[in-house]
Structure 1
């Protein structure tokens, strides 16, 4: 600070210290900056309302399968942890010189180098491209629901005009999310596509939204700490925290408890792409291709149905596919929880509902059916489902810091109908916190490989099929 300025600042402090504080009451006003002081805002990415929806029915794709180069091995072998992690004493004392006052040594990207907000590796590019595919479908899905279902249909489920404005606002948020990611990817970033949504009414629509936003959120959590570009990760983090709030809102719209789990899991990119790709119809010519695997679909034959008073008492009540979105088609009106008059059984759109009947429970027998590999899915039907597994032996339950395995029983590998059953495990992350809860994931595997949240993608070579499981 210049000497004259310092004197003026000191004089101002002296003046303020001698003035008695008095309450000030004023009318709220909106401050409008004059033209010379307006700060320029960057333009959002170009986007449009998708006018065509439904499964792809165009010509066969000329290019099929995931993007690939030379593959170094069928799987990544385990390796020891970095020695500096093991050797650090973690005793609360400082063990290195401080780069500046009040700052400990260490950290990544803390050396003063200028951050560059762009992808820095193939891993970064393919991960952020996957995230952008999710932002595009959410932008369309939120708008599509508002355009497809009437105000009366939304009102019937307790989603009123103000809630619908929130839905519109969440669609606007996706414009910002897509803009950030596309700018970091550059000119070849994936563009908007056409989509197909497995729903026919508001309740099914809300359920598909809460499942889609969960696997999109979990997909980013899975790769975020592995990005080579720390600056790109910091930008994406600010978008995915909003995505998490959107997922909670859709659970509330569906009358479910907003966040029954204590921890939100991360999933591998191939899981997120597997769950997303079937709902993409056609994409523009020369669309960026994905490297990620598409696993066969797993169908939960008795998927718990949150639209029911007794959600666990369900059989074949989904619209099919990877999301296992709930269906209300065959449920009598008096068994729909939205119609229940007992407050312990009802499920109106609300901040929270505490139902007396659990949606699922430990020991529940879960019946499974899955596809074999070789089916065409995704943009322009140009991706092919694959697996290395001939015979799955376990159900891997991925939720809340854990991957828990339960053995498959009565496995049938008939070409037309592969089936088995297993039992929902009784396991807790912490005492009082059931690990199997919320909107989570089940994969069928051939081994019970030990993995943790940071290296869960090592399970991929052992996955036979994949699905979302509605545990709570």
Structure 2
């Protein structure tokens, strides 16, 4: 149910674009986009860490999953942790820190449903932010993360949710403001030292 609500919200945001950010596009820096990407990667990293600590192999088996499904989620979680480290290293001491989060995951099935949504939003986030990036090396790095997030989304849909792994010929790019609005329900509180992102939320 939660996944359906979020997917409906994505569709609505795509149909009715958000108001422009308070800063002009030309004032948004590569560092802003790296901080934005790190904000999202922190959320995904925390999501997988919390769920995999909560649900062991027995819980996944009890939910009707084959023995390999949890291990694949472990692998996805490791990827998200690597993304966090990569972006944190790129930003150095200025890197945004993880927030406190709340995820609606009472069981492995709800976890898989939210995972599919987060991965799909991640793909839309990278696609929607690409045009802000000036540095070609950063753009290439973002593209390599985007392609992995797309593989995550496809695998989760096909193997954990028994749904279409590639439901459309194009992904929907979402602006940073739109993505942050979707992420907001999961975020309880962030460190006051985190840099403020130049996007409306």
Deviation at 1:246, TM superposition (A): 0.9
Structure 1 residue 124 corresponds to structure 2 residue 30: yes
Structure 1 residue 245 corresponds to structure 2 residue 154: no
Which residue number in structure 2 is paired with residue 231 of structure 1? Answer: 137
What secondary structure is seen at the aligned counterpart in 2 of 1:281?
A: strand
Which residue number in structure 1 is paired with residue 176 of structure 2? Answer: 269
The 1-side partners of 2:47 and 2:153 are apart by: 13
Aligned-residue CA RMSD (Å)? 2.3
Which residue number in structure 2 is paired with residue 313 of structure 1? Answer: none
Q: How many residue pairs were aligned? A: 180
- Kept after mapping to 2: 8 A contact 1:121/1:228: no
- Kept after mapping to 1: 8 A contact 2:28/2:132: no
The aligned runs of 1:68-147 (5 Å cut-off) are: 122-147=28-53
Deviation at 1:147, TM superposition (A): 1.6
The aligned runs of 1:143-222 (5 Å cut-off) are: 143-222=49-128
The 2-side partners of 1:277 and 1:257 are apart by: 27
Q: Which blocks of at least 5 consecutive residues in structure 2 are unaligned?
A: 1-20
Q: Which blocks of at least 5 consecutive residues in structure 1 are unaligned?
A: 1-67, 77-119, 295-472
Deviation at 1:138, TM superposition (A): 1.2
The 2-side partners of 1:178 and 1:131 are apart by: 9
The 1-side partners of 2:33 and 2:192 are apart by: 21
The 2-side partners of 1:293 and 1:207 are apart by: 27
Which residue number in structure 1 is paired with residue 196 of structure 2? Answer: 289
Which residue number in structure 1 is paired with residue 187 of structure 2? Answer: 280
- Kept after mapping to 1: 8 A contact 2:28/2:198: no
Which residue number in structure 1 is paired with residue 9 of structure 2? Answer: none
Which residue number in structure 1 is paired with residue 16 of structure 2? Answer: none
The 2-side partners of 1:229 and 1:274 are apart by: 26
The 2-side partners of 1:202 and 1:282 are apart by: 25
- Kept after mapping to 1: 8 A contact 2:51/2:105: no
**TM-score, reference length from structure 1:** 0.36
Deviations 1:343-376 (A, max 9, x none): xxxxxxxxxxxxxxxxxxxxxxxxxxxxxxxxxx
Higher strand proportion (structure 1 or 2): 1
Which residue number in structure 1 is paired with residue 165 of structure 2? Answer: 258
What secondary structure is seen at the aligned counterpart in 2 of 1:139?
A: helix
The 1-side partners of 2:100 and 2:47 are apart by: 10
Deviation at 1:173, TM superposition (A): 0.9
**TM-score, reference length from structure 2:** 0.80
Higher helix proportion (structure 1 or 2): 2
The 2-side partners of 1:121 and 1:185 are apart by: 18
Deviation at 1:121, TM superposition (A): 6.5
The 2-side partners of 1:255 and 1:196 are apart by: 26
Deviation at 1:150, TM superposition (A): 4.0
The 1-side partners of 2:133 and 2:147 are apart by: 17
Deviations 1:76-135 (A, max 9, x none): 9xxxxxxxxxxxxxxxxxxxxxxxxxxxxxxxxxxxxxxxxxxx9733222221111111
